[in-house]
Amino acid sequence: MASTWSPRRRWKYDVFLSFRGEDTRETFICHLYHALTAKGIITFIDDESLERGSTIGPSLFTAIQDSSIALVVLSKNFASSSWCLDELSKIIQCKVERRQIVIPIFYKVSPSDVRYQNGSFQLRTVEVREHEEVYGDKDQLKVWSDALRRVSHLSGYDSRKYG
């Protein structure tokens, strides 16, 4: 008699998409999400109905933890969002603690700008200063800076090299 046993799925999602919506949602992310799901890849993408605020919601933290792979799309305005930086910090934590695979996609930005936090990746923006003032968390800047540096050192894709 043949066994119908199958291994229990370890992850709820195959892929978690992390991105700055205003930069990429209606263009690159839309196409990427549809291509992944068309191949049967279970992909988490945030939803417009999720409650927005200054800090990342628990449901997104759970989705990050429940994903085998995180695709981080780093675009021009990514670092101006404390939400995106919180997501990235959690993803880097999951890479270390849960052996999550993290693949950066540098979307029309230089990996070296992310690594050295130049240009739009400087963390001394108005939004970051406002976050520090509202939440009184001066150490958060170090966490975000470290997460940007770590993701920039991972093997990924630079969209400027592709058509």
Q: Which residues carry out catalysis?
A: 87
Q: Phi then psi for 71, rounded to 5 degrees? A: -100, 115
Contact 75, 129 (CB under 8 A): no
The tokens describing 19, both together, are 């991105």
Closest CA to 74 of 65, 82, 84: 84
Count of CB atoms within 10 A of residue 124's CB?
8
Q: Who's near 134: CB < 8 A, 6+ residues apart?
A: 54
CA distance 156 to 115: 13
Q: Phi then psi for 9, rounded to 5 degrees? A: -65, 125
